[in-house]
C-alpha cells in the first residue's frame, strides 16, 4: 500500500509541476475558449472538450527538457564523458602532463610544451625530470602511499623558472596521473626584491646611526673638554641625521607612489614653466659645482597632462644628478623638443651632462632601488640611491618613459618622453 501511495505521489507531483509551469498559457487558452463560446454561441460540450484538450496539452512533458533530476544528471554525465581529456588539458593555463603507472607521458598540454619542450607521448618522466624532488614526487604518487603530493621544483634551462608542482591520480582505477606546474617565478622575484630592499634600507640607516653613536661616545669621553672637537663632531652628526632624513623622505615618497602606480593625472602642466623653476631652484648647486646650465627649448606651448609637483620632482632629480656627477664637464644642457614621428607623439625632455659617463653594463639597472654606479661617490654627493627609482615610478603614473644613453668619457643623457595634452 505504501508503495502504491509513493508511486501515486511521484506521479502527481510532476503533473502538478507541469500544470504550474504552463499556468499562463493554460489560462490564456481557457479565456479564448470562453470568449468564443460567448460570442459565437458554441455548444457547452464543445467548450468542455476544448478545455479538456488544453489541460491534456499542459500535462504533456516538454520534449526539450529532461523528465527528471536523474535524467538531467545522466545527460550531464554523458556530455562530460564525450569531452576529450586533451580538450580539458588544453583549457588549463598552467603546464599540465598526464602520465600512467609506469611514469610514461600520455599527454602534455601546450603550456607544458612551451615551458619544457621536447615532450612527447611515450617519454619517461623520470628521464625528463631528473631532480631528486621530482623523483620523490613520482615515487610517492605511483606507490599509492598518498593521494596527492606537492613539491617545489626549479627548471634551469632555457631560463631559470621556479614551480610549485602537484601530482595526483585521475579518477578511480584509471591508472592515470596528472602533474600540474604552478609558476612561482614572479612571486619569488618579488620576495627577493622585498628582502633586498629591507637589507639595503637597514644598511643605509645603520651606517649613519653607527657614526652618530660613535661621536656621542667620544663627546662624552675623550672630547668632553675639547670645544673644537665638539663643534666638528656635532657638524658631522648633523650631516648624518640629514642623510637619514633624506633617506626616510625618499622611502615615504616611493611607498606612496607604489601604492597608486597608475593614478591618472588630472590636470595639465606647462613644461616650460616647470623646468624653468627647476633650473632656478638648482642654480646655487650648479654654481657650487662650477656647472653652467644651458637651455634649448622649442618654441610654442609645451603642455602635458600630469601633476606639476611630481614632474618637478622628476626633473629636479635628473638635473641635480647631472650637476653633481657630471660637474667635470663644466656644463649641463636641458633641451625640450616635440616628438611627432613615433607611434605616441609627445614631448621629449633631455638632460645631458658632459662628465665621466656611465658604463654600459650599469645602465639597465640604474633605476633599481639602492643601485649605485659608484657607492663612495654617491654617498659623498649625499645620494640615497632611490632618486631614479622614484623618477621611474612617477613617469609610470604619467604614462611616460625614461631612456638613458651614455658613453664613458663623454657624459650621459637622460630623456623623458611625455604624451602631449
Residue 188 lies in a domain: no
The pLDDT of residue 3: 46
Distance CA 337, CA 209 (A): 45
Residues contacting residue 186 through CB under 8 Å, at least 6 positions apart: none
**277 and 401: one domain?**
yes
Q: Over 80: is that where the pLDDT of 74 sits?
A: no
Name the pLDDT band for 169 (thresholds 50, 70, 90): confident
**316 and 367: one domain?**
yes
**299 and 364: one domain?**
yes
**33 and 117: one domain?**
no
Q: Over 80: is that where the pLDDT of 186 sits?
A: yes
Q: Hey, is 390 helix, strand or coil?
A: helix
Residue 189 lies in a domain: no
How confident is the model over 406-415, as a mean pLDDT? 89
The pLDDT of residue 18: 61
The pLDDT of residue 37: 58
**120 and 58: one domain?**
no
Residue 326 lies in a domain: yes
Mean residue pLDDT of the chain comes to 78
From residue 388, how far is each of 189, 231, 394, 395 by CA, in Å?
20, 35, 10, 10
**278 and 391: one domain?**
yes
Distance CA 340, CA 376 (A): 41
How confident is the model over 102-117, as a mean pLDDT? 88
Residue 140 contacts residue 151 (beta carbons within 8 Å)? no
Residue 190 lies in a domain: no
Beta strands in 241-345 (DSSP E): 268-270, 292-297, 303-305, 331-339
**Structural domain containing residue 211:** 201-259
Domain count, the chain: 4
The pLDDT of residue 116: 86
The pLDDT of residue 55: 62
**211 and 273: one domain?**
no
The pLDDT of residue 249: 82
Q: Over 60: is that where the pLDDT of 268 sits?
A: yes
Residues contacting residue 79 through CB under 8 Å, at least 6 positions apart: none
Residue 37 lies in a domain: yes
More confident residue, 100 or 345: 100
From residue 348, how far is each of 173, 331, 334, 339, 402 by CA, in Å?
67, 20, 11, 6, 10
State the distance between the two ends of the chain, measured CA to CA, in whole angstroms. 86
**280 and 389: one domain?**
yes
Question: Which of 195-204, 332-341, 343-352 is the least confident region?
Answer: 195-204
The pLDDT of residue 348: 92
**161 and 224: one domain?**
no
Residue 169 contacts residue 176 (beta carbons within 8 Å)? yes
How confident is the model over 401-414, as a mean pLDDT? 90
Domain of residue 207, CATH code: 1.10.287.130
Domain of residue 317, CATH code: 3.30.565.10
Residue 194 lies in a domain: no
Residue that finishes a domain, picked among 183, 215, 248 = 183
Amino acid at each position: 500500500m505504501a508503495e502504491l501511495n509513493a508511486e501515486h505521489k511521484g506521479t502527481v507531483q510532476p503533473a502538478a509541476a507541469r500544470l504550474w509551469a504552463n499556468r499562463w498559457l493554460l489560462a490564456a487558452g481557457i479565456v479564448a475558449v470562453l470568449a468564443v463560446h460567448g460570442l459565437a454561441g458554441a455548444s457547452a460540450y464543445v467548450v468542455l472538450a476544448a478545455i479538456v484538450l488544453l489541460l491534456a496539452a499542459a500535462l504533456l512533458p516538454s520534449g526539450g527538457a529532461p523528465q527528471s533530476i536523474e535524467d538531467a544528471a545522466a545527460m550531464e554525465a554523458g556530455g562530460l564523458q564525450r569531452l576529450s581529456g586533451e580538450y580539458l588539458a588544453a583549457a588549463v593555463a598552467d603546464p599540465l602532463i598526464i602520465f600512467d603507472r609506469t611514469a610514461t607521458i600520455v599527454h602534455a598540454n601546450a603550456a607544458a610544451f612551451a615551458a619544457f619542450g621536447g615532450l612527447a607521448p611515450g617519454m619517461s618522466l623520470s628521464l625528463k625530470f631528473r631532480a631528486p624532488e621530482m623523483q620523490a614526487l613520482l615515487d610517492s604518487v605511483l606507490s599509492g602511499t598518498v593521494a596527492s603530493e606537492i613539491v617545489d621544483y626549479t627548471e634551469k634551462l632555457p631560463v631559470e623558472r621556479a614551480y610549485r608542482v602537484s601530482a595526483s591520480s585521475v579518477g578511480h582505477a584509471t591508472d592515470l596521473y596528472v602533474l600540474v606546474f604552478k609558476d612561482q617565478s614572479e612571486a619569488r622575484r618579488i620576495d627577493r626584491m622585498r628582502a633586498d630592499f629591507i637589507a639595503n634600507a637597514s644598511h643605509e640607516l645603520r651606517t649613519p646611526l653607527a657614526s652618530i653613536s660613535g661621536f656621542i661616545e667620544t663627546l662624552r669621553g675623550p672630547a668632553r673638554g675639547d670645544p673644537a672637537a665638539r663643534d666638528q663632531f656635532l657638524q658631522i652628526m648633523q650631516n648624518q641625521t640629514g642623510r637619514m632624513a633624506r633617506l626616510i623622505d625618499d622611502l615615504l615618497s616611493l611607498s606612496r607612489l607604489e601604492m597608486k602606480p597608475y593614478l591618472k593625472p588630472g590636470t595639465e602642466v606647462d613644461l616650460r614653466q616647470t623646468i624653468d623653476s627647476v633650473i632656478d631652484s638648482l642654480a646655487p648647486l650648479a654654481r657650487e659645482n662650477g656647472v653652467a646650465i644651458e637651455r634649448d627649448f622649442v618654441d610654442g606651448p609645451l603642455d602635458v597632462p600630469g601633476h606639476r609637483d611630481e614632474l618637478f620632482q622628476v626633473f629636479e632629480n635628473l638635473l641635480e644628478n647631472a650637476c653633481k656627477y657630471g660637474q667635470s664637464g663644466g656644463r649641463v644642457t636641458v633641451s625640450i623638443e616635440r616628438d611627432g614621428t613615433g607611434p605616441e607623439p609627445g614631448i621629449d625632455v633631455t638632460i645631458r651632462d658632459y662628465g665621466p659617463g656611465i658604463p654600459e653594463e650599469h645602465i639597465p639597472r640604474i633605476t633599481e632601488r639602492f643601485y649605485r654606479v659608484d657607492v663612495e661617490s654617491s654617498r659623498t654627493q649625499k645620494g640615497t640611491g632611490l632618486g631614479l627609482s622614484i623618477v621611474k615610478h612617477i613617469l609610470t603614473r604619467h604614462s611616460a618613459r625614461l631612456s638613458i644613453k651614455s658613453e664613458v668619457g663623454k657624459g650621459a643623457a637622460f630623456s623623458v618622453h611625455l604624451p602631449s595634452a
